[in-house]
């Protein structure tokens, strides 16, 4: 059921993103420019607002600019596919943005004396990095690992909703979102490792003849 919802949500977003992507390409905007702009926007939302406790503005800014992760990919596909540098830039900017978001959340929770919340934020940061690393390492070994219930966009949306609700006065919403995100991120690591394990069993061992 979660997978069906995830696919439906992405299909709905695609119908919104594709016209915008076409318009930007016609205007001469490159996917790489969108990637960098999205990262800068996330940094402003996270460090300029979220870290200071302005959670509503921070969550809204981060969520809007996080969606450029779908936009630049759509633009790259429409323009003939991502370049090697484009793929490298996208991955690098994602890690910078993720570090800013969860670092800002951890910092604000620390100023509030919420040590459990800080632990959850740091766990989300670590687990999210592992989710991305498993995929990159699998692809480097000639396999795929593009599976899991908590990919990057979903992770940022979860923490964004938690921050927004907390900023609107809902008690513990951010902390609940962080622990939920930590759990689904760890589960996603397991999903991806299992997926790679199944593929690896079908491949010859390194150095094997034949």
Task: Give me the active site residues, please.
Answer: 94
* Cβ atoms within 10 Å of 205's Cβ, excluding its own: 6
Q: Cα(122)–Cα(100) distance, rounded to whole angstroms?
A: 12
Q: How many residues does the chain have?
A: 210
Q: Is 45 annotated as a binding residue?
A: no
Cα 17 to the center of its chain, rounded Å:
17
Q: Is 144 annotated as a binding residue?
A: no
Q: Is 98 annotated as a binding residue?
A: no
Q: Is 17 annotated as a binding residue?
A: no
Contact in structure between 149 and 6 (CB atoms under 8 Å): yes
Q: Is 73 annotated as a binding residue?
A: yes
Q: Is 173 annotated as a binding residue?
A: no
CA atoms within 13 A on the CB side of 208: 6
Q: Is 177 annotated as a binding residue?
A: no
Contact in structure between 158 and 113 (CB atoms under 8 Å): no
Q: Is 77 annotated as a binding residue?
A: yes
Q: Cα(63)–Cα(41) distance, rounded to whole angstroms?
A: 10
Residues of the binding site for Mg(2+)? 69, 72, 90, 94
- Please give the annotated binding residues, written as ranges: 32-35, 69, 72-73, 77, 83, 90, 94
- State the binding site for a CDP-1,2-diacyl-sn-glycerol: 32-35, 73, 77, 83
């Amino acid at each position: 059921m979660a997978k069906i919802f995830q696919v439906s949500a992405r299909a709905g977003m695609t119908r919104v993103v594709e016209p915008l992507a076409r318009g930007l390409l016609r205007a001469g905007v490159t996917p790489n420019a969108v990637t960098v702009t999205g990262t800068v926007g996330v940094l402003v939302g996270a460090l300029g607002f979220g870290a200071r406790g302005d959670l509503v503005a921070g969550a809204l800014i981060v969520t809007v600019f996080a969606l450029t992760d779908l936009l630049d990919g759509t633009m790259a596909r429409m323009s003939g596919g991502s370049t090697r540098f484009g793929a490298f830039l996208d991955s690098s900017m994602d890690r910078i943005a993720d570090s800013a978001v969860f670092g800002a959340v951890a910092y604000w929770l620390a100023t509030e004396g919420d040590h459990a919340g800080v632990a959850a934020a740091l766990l989300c940061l670590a687990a999210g990095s592992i989710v991305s690393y498993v995929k990159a390492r699998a692809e480097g070994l000639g396999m795929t690992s593009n599976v899991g219930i908590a990919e990057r966009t979903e992770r940022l949306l979860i923490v964004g909703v938690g921050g927004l609700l907390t900023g609107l006065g809902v008690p513990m919403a951010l902390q609940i979102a962080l622990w939920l995100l930590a759990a689904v991120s760890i589960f996603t690591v397991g999903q991806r490792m299992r997926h790679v394990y199944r593929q690896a069993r079908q491949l010859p061992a390194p150095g094997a003849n034949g």
